[in-house]
Structures are given as structure tokens and as C-alpha cells.
């Protein structure tokens, strides 16, 4: 059952992909707080979600002073679990930020949560890291489901696999978000900017009536130098910031006001809003 007003607390918020995804799903939400330490991403959040408190560093949040909320959302930092990184996991400081998520869940007990991370989380330390995460969430009183979803199935022209973890507080009604039937349904969504599938690493992107090949240069932190190059014949160029916004499901110029370098970085680290829109609809039975 969908609450009349869903109160959201967002962690590691980036430029607001979770919040925007809920809006795209026509969910009546109220963001009661977020935490983000990147000054450029925070600048966008403060512009798009005015008068909402930024709690800053997740490790310094006093959970006893947080407002009540219905759902916690967040893409906890993925670098320690990335296939491309050193994969130190919980041995690296950023890896332990998951425990700040768990600390807040333990005290506030929201009805639901949605967490997102890179595909490499599943295999990190031979699966033991992910097993630990699921065990902690279960011990906190949540029934947990998860699935590896690819953004290309949700109306954006990029192949981007991420793990999505959804939690339901025990004793509450809980629609099943992930299932084979729903996975089949979602794969039928046609990306509005995708004209031809060229395989796992390439897509054709139509802009101003001209089709160009988009070649992925890498995931995660690769966005610092531009996630993609566009190849038309022998010409190669970097995607524009607006094209990167479209790849992640954001409106044009959502990150306007930042330098191109920071826009690439923020968008590369963002969650794909279309995927959150779909999860939100399944979770609240829209």
C-alpha cells in the first residue's frame, strides 16, 4: 500500500537520482534529509531540493536526531567493490560506510530501503562481502530481496549493470519487487534514444537526426574523464554533459552550473533514475 506521503531520507545522494526517480514514478514524496559531502553534487541538491537539510558526512550523523522517514535510499560508495578497483571492501574506509547505513536503519527502522552498488559487490571476496551485507540487513529485522539490473532495459541507451537491494521491515505488508515475470515485463521498455543494439559495449544514439555509436570507456569512476566517446565514422568526440544526463534519465541541464568536468563526474556516479522509477512503482504498487 502506498502511503499518502512517502518520507524519504537519502544517503550518499549525489545529484538526486533516487529522489528524481520517485518523482518520475508519480510518487508523492517528501525528502526529509540527505547526506552528501561532495561540494559540487551538494550544489545541485541545494538547487533542486531547496530548504532540505544536508547532514553531510554519513559517519558523523547522529541517528537519534534524524526526523522519521518511511524509506532510506542510497548508493553507498562503490569504489571498494568495483571490478576495476583494488577491491579492499570493508578493509577500506569507504567500504565501511555501509555500516553507517546499517546504524541508521537499526535506530530509525523505516518501513523500506533501497540500496544500489556495482556488480562487483556480488563477487567481492568470493561473495562473502555481499553475504555479510545481507546478513546484517536481515539481523536488523528486514526481509531482503535483490537483483542485478541493467539500465539498458529501462529506457536509456547504455549498458550499466548495478545491484539493487530492497528491504521490507518484518511485520509490514511487502509487495515483491523482483520476479521473473516483472523482469520479462521491464525488458520490453524501448529506450527512446536507442536505435540499434550493437552488443554489450556499444549503442547507437540518435541526436538531431544523426545516429552515432556510443562506446563505453568504463564504469564507476571512469566518469571523471567522460564516461563515453561518440564515434561517427572516423570522428571521435566525448559525449556532452546533456547527453550524459539523458543516459542516466535526468532532464536536460539538471547539472547546469557546474563545470563540464564536475558534471561528468557527478553523472557518472549517479544512479539511473529510470531504474529507481521502476523499483518505486513495484514497491508502492502504482
Distance between CA atoms of residues 132 and 128, nearest Å: 6
Q: End-to-end distance of the chain based on CA atoms, in angstroms?
A: 9
- Mark whether 244 is an active-site residue: no
In DSSP terms, 11 is beta-bridged to 35, 74
Coil vs helix vs strand at 259: coil
Q: Name the phi and psi angles at 231, rounded to 5.
A: -115, 120
What is the DSSP track for 34-85? Answer: EE---HHHHHHHHHHSTT--B---GGG--GGGSPP-SEEEE----GGG-TTS
**Biggest alpha carbon–alpha carbon distance for the chain:** 59
What the block records as the C-alpha cell of 282 is: 513495484
Q: β-pairing, 71-74 with 6-11? A: parallel
What the block records as the C-alpha cell of 137 is: 540487513
**Of 35, 78, 244, 266, catalytic:** 78
Catalytically active residues are: 78
Amino acid at each position: 500500500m502506498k502511503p499518502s506521503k512517502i518520507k524519504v531520507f537519502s544517503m550518499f545522494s549525489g545529484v538526486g537520482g533516487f529522489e528524481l526517480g520517485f518523482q518520475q514514478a508519480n510518487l508523492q514524496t517528501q525528502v526529509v534529509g540527505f547526506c552528501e559531502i561532495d561540494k559540487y553534487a551538494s550544489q545541485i541538491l541545494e538547487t533542486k531540493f531547496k530548504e532540505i537539510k544536508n547532514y553531510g558526512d554519513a559517519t558523523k550523523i547522529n541517528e537519534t536526531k534524524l526526523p522519521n522517514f518511511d524509506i532510506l535510499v542510497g548508493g553507498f560508495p562503490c569504489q571498494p567493490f568495483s571490478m576495476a578497483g583494488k577491491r579492499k571492501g570493508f578493509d577500506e574506509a569507504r567500504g565501511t560506510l555501509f555500516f553507517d547505513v546499517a546504524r541508521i536503519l537499526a535506530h530509525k527502522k523505516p518501513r523500506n530501503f533501497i540500496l544500489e552498488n556495482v556488480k562487483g559487490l556480488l563477487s567481492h571476496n568470493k561473495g562473502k562481502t555481499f553475504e555479510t551485507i545481507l546478513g546484517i540487513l536481515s539481523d536488523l529485522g528486514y526481509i531482503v530481496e535483490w537483483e542485478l539490473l541493467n539500465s539498458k532495459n529501462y529506457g536509456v541507451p547504455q549498458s550499466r549493470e548495478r545491484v539493487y537491494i530492497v528491504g521490507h521491515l518484518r511485520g509490514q505488508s511487502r509487495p515483491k519487487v523482483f520476479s521473473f515475470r516483472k523482469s520479462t515485463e521491464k525488458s520490453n521498455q524501448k529506450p527512446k534514444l536507442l536505435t540499434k543494439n550493437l552488443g554489450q559495449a556499444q549503442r547507437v544514439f540518435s541526436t538531431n537526426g544523426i545516429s552515432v555509436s556510443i562506446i563505453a570507456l568504463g564504469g564507476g569512476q571512469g566518469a571523471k574523464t567522460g564516461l563515453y566517446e561518440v564515434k561517427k565514422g572516423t570522428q571521435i568526440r566525448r559525449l556532452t554533459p546533456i547527453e550524459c544526463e539523458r543516459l542516466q534519465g535526468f532532464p536536460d541541464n539538471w547539472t547546469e552550473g557546474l563545470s563540464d568536468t564536475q558534471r561528468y563526474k557527478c553523472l557518472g556516479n549517479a544512479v539511473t533514475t529510470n531504474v529507481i522509477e521502476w523499483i518505486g512503482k513495484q514497491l508502492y504498487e502504482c
